[in-house]
Amino acid sequence: MATSRRTVAVAAGQVRSTSRSPLDVPAQYVKGVGPARAVQLARLGLHTVEDLLYHAPHRYEDRSHLASIASLVPGQKQTTEGVVLALSEKRHGAYQFVAALSDNTAVLQAIWFGQRYLRRVIRRGTRLIVHGKVERAGRLQMMVEEFEILTGDDTDTLHTGRIVPMHPATEGLSARVLRTIIAQALSQYRDGVPEVLSPAIRHRHDLLPLGEALRAIHFPRSLPEADAAHQRLAFDELLILQLGVLMRRQALQTIDKGVRYAGDGDLLHRFISVLPYPPTRAQRRVLDEIAADLRRPAPMNRLLHGDVGSGKTVVAAAALWLCVGGGYQGALMAPTEILAEQHYLTFRRLLAPLGVRVGLVTGGAAKREREHVRDALRAGDVDVAIGTHALLEEGVTFGRLGLVVVDEQHKFGVTQRATLRRKGFHPDVLVMTATPIPRTLSMTLYGDLDVSVLDEMPPGRGAVRTYVRGPEKRPEVYAWVREQVGSGRQAYIVCPLIEESEKLQVEAAVRLAERLGEEVFRDVPLSVLHGRMRPEEKEQVMDAFRGGTTKILVATPVIEVGIDVPQATIMVIEDADRFGLAQLHQLRGRIGRGTGASHCILLSSLATDAARERMETMAHTHDGFVVAQRDLELRGPGEILGTRQHGLPDLRIADPLADVAILELARDEARRLLADDPGLTRREDAVLGRQVRRRFVVRTTVAVG
Ligand code: ADP
Ligand code: MG
């Protein structure tokens, strides 16, 4: 994570070199660091003074209360102070260094293990603060975890006798060493760090000055002071993030993409008239939002968010139709070949009646075919290109690309989305996702996007029931599936997830299909589907399943995304505990698409608490929003947020889940600032402006968030 932060800073640095600031000084120049320590620091992602100053503790230990030795309580972790009366070492067995400490109330044997160097630093008469577990083994003793030598009248302790910061450390670089280095960095460089916020902003939100906050986040005098420091630093970080995102958005608003929407409201009516069903109210509303965007001179930059099965595909098709109706081409990118092929079929069905020519661009197609489609796209003989990553290849060019749609956008990185949009002149962009995230998070991640929500399921969906069964119930589960299939239903059997290798994954699927075909489902038409099949093979398998000739589809988790076969109503997921919640929800979204009742069976051993939690969540919740919230709670925001994947700088201090209130303040402040000073060029905002530009590349070709 930390390495990525570097990359962002470097990339931005190329755009605009920042003025010399103590923050940019290499960590190696901090007193006491040197080349060897610098290498260890780099392993933690700490390269500069800035990295050190912003390496916040993950917790604090209150060692400010000094107990007298006589009042120490065996069994507790405590802190005390005394003068060394006598020293001894135990050399047989594990090395121990023992100092008898006295504070005139009693004597304590302070014990260290294996630290021979101590005999050089601790002498008779040395005054010490020690912290550790107190024990009574005949004599009163303490297993020392932290200690500090007090010299002269120096009362500023680092490791004991205060609220002590515990920094994320690593092998070879203890929290103690890190604490010392950070204290040094603070004393050397803190005064030179320029204040980022104007006095007006600081007063408005009652925030500590930056220098104070940097000291107090590491070495607070009280826990409320640590909170205040966090508040200040998190505010900075979120403000900079919001400013960057809003400035991107601002930059986009100034672009004139040219007129590319034919604009007669008839287009939408014509689309709806060929749809096999009326659009839901939510679909109508979203389509109106999109049409309004297309009409504007600035390019659309919109996120369509709707739970699995809410009908995003139709919305994409309508948007592409509006674009084609205006005389432009459109492209839709999907993360897997199977999904691209399915979309290709759907779009042909929906759009061919309107005279739209649809082409398929995947890596798996034969060379001649690929070239044929490429030529047609370049010449403008194909109106809509549906494809995978293959769309990004250099050879794929468009005559007049007007709209880019990215399906399952969380499966792509920023650069991929940016590559696709560069194939047109500021095309309109629609990204779609089924991964719901709470509003505050979307403010952070998608702040530069307009958001549309499909909050309604198409009517007439049968209920989905979810059951969790132990592996010993497998025979019964299969017998039940047999029975169901016998009465005309269709089923998915999803193989266990093998993350290490696709090859192993594929082998496992093939083996499972063989075994099931021979042993359990001998007279049932069954096929296997995996990512390594040739495109024609995949197509055949999907066709047969869609057509109902195949009753059971044994599949690798490739079917996770997008697949739509409404009459399949049963799903068995093998070793379901290997999947994350979001994945399980996506998988389960493959059923419950038709009118009949659907059943999802999770085969899982419930070996761990985490597995049990996930399975229970799945059994009780079918609402994607709730599942996502639970996922967030179980895994923490870091993994799911993936700010880097969104082309945003990592958050070092703020936790967008816990710091919601700060996030909202920062957002309001960002709006207010930009309203008065859109380029952040006023003198009092100049440092802030530099910080934003340092972290964000604000260009007119904006990366889609
Ligand atoms: P997702 O949002 O997960 O991509 P899809 O676009 O695949 O969902 O749609 C799920 C299913 O709902 C498809 O079978 C589609 O044909 C159907 N569907 C979409 N919109 C409607 C509607 N308005 N009325 C009835 N069925 C619909
Ligand atoms: Mg979809």
Q: Which of 577, 592, 621 corresponds to the end of one domain?
A: 621
Residue with tokens 């059951």: 467
Q: How many A from CA of 283 to the centre of ligand 2?
A: 14
pLDDT over 90 percentage in the chain: 52
User: What's the mean per-residue pLDDT of the chain?
Assistant: 87
Atom 10 in ligand 1: residue holding the nearest Cα: 309
Query: Of the given ranges (93-97, 417-421, 562-566), which has the lowest mean pLDDT?
Result: 562-566
Q: How confident is the model over 245-281, as pLDDT tens digits?
A: 888 888 888 888 876 676 667 889 999 999 999 999 9
Residue 109 CA to ligand 1 centre (angstroms): 73
- pLDDT at position 10: 32
* Token digits of residue 666: 């920062």
Helix (H) or strand (E) holding 686: helix 686-695
Burial class (CB in 10 A: 0-12, 13-18, 19+), 584: buried
| Residue-level pLDDT at 579 | 87
| Res. 439: pLDDT tops 80 | no
Q: Which of 292-301, 423-432, 557-566 has the lowest mean pLDDT?
A: 557-566
Whether 532 and 419 share a structural domain: no
Winning range, highest mean pLDDT, from 335-349, 472-486, 607-621: 472-486
Ligand nearest to the CA of 565: 1
Pairing of strands 568-573, 598-603: parallel
Angle between helix axes 660-676 and 223-253 (nearest 10 degrees) is 40
In a domain, 649, yes or no: no
Q: Kindly state whether residue 702 falls inside one of the protein's structural domains.
A: no
Q: What pLDDT, on a 0 to 100 scale, did the predictor assign at position 46?
A: 93
pLDDT of residue 440: 63
Domain edge (last residue) among 119, 145, 161: 161
DSSP assignment of 444-467 equals HHSTTSEEEEE-SPPSSPPPEEEE
Where residue 4 falls among pLDDT bands split at 50, 70, 90?
A: very low
The reported pTM is 0.74
More reliable by pLDDT, 143 or 442: 143
Please tell me whether residues 408 and 486 are part of one structural domain: no
> Are residue 485 and residue 611 in the same domain, yes or no?
yes
Q: Which of 553, 563, 469, 569 is nearest to 516 (CA)?
A: 553
Distance CA 447, CA 667 (A): 9
Same domain, 480 and 570: yes
User: Does residue 599 surpass a pLDDT of 80?
Assistant: yes
Claim to verify: residue 134 and residue 272 sit in the same structural domain: no
Structure token pair of residue 237: 């970080």
| Percent of the chain surpassing pLDDT 70 | 91
Q: Which residues contact 21 (CB under 8 A, 6 or more apart)?
A: 192, 193, 194
- Rounded mean pLDDT of 643-654? 70
Verify that 416 and 510 share a domain, yes or no.
no
C-beta of 314 in contact with ligand 1 (< 6 A): yes
User: Based on the number of CB atoms within 10 Å of its own CB, is 255 exposed (0-12), middle (13-18) or buried (19 or more)?
Assistant: middle
Tell me, using a 6 A CB cutoff, whether residue 313 lines ligand 1.
yes
Please state, in angstroms and rounded to a whole number, the distance separating the CA atoms of residues 396 and 373.
9
Is residue 382 predicted with pLDDT exceeding 60?
yes
- For a ligand 1 pocket test, name from 274, 275, 277, 457 the mutation site with the most ligand atoms within 8 angstroms of its C-beta: 277
Across residues 211-223, what is the average pLDDT? 96
The pLDDT of residue 277 is 92
Q: Quick one: 378 and 423 in the same domain? A: yes
Q: Is the minimum distance from the CB of 309 to ligand 1 under 6 angstroms?
A: yes
* Same domain flag for 271 and 398: yes
Asked if 272 and 156 sit in the same domain, the reply is no
What's the CA gap between 436 and 433, in Å, rounded?
8
CATH number at residue 372: 3.40.50.300
What is the average per-residue pLDDT within 420-442?
A: 83
The reply to whether 350 falls in a domain is: yes
Number of folded domains that form the chain: 3
Same domain, 596 and 516: yes
Q: What pLDDT sits at residue 9? A: 32
Cα of 410 from ligand 2 centre, angstroms: 12
Same domain, 615 and 473: yes
| Single-letter residue type at 89 | E
- Cα distances (Å, whole numbers) of residue 78 to 71, 101, 224, 513: 10, 14, 22, 61
Residue 314 in tokens:
């139709």
Q: How confident is the model at residue 545 (pLDDT cuts 50, 70, 90)?
A: very high
- Is the CB of residue 311 below 6 angstroms from any atom belonging to ligand 1? yes
The one-character DSSP state at 48 is B
Domain boundary among 132, 161, 190: 161
Confidence of residue 644 (pLDDT cuts 50, 70, 90): low
Does residue 316 have its Cβ closer than 6 Å to ligand 1? no
597 in a structural domain = yes
Q: What is the mean pLDDT of residues 686-700?
A: 76
- Taking the centre of ligand 2 as the mean of its atom positions, its distance from the CA of residue 366, in whole angstroms, is 26
pLDDT value for 643: 53
- d(CA 313, ligand 1 centre) in Å: 7
Closest atom of ligand 1 to CA, residue 310: 2
- Answer yes or no: do 423 and 492 share one domain: no
Domain that holds residue 360: 267-296+310-433
* 423 Ramachandran zone, left/alpha/beta (phi>0; psi -120 to 50): alpha
- Nearest-CA residue for atom 23 of ligand 1: 279
**CATH number of the structural domain spanning residue 107:** 2.40.50.140
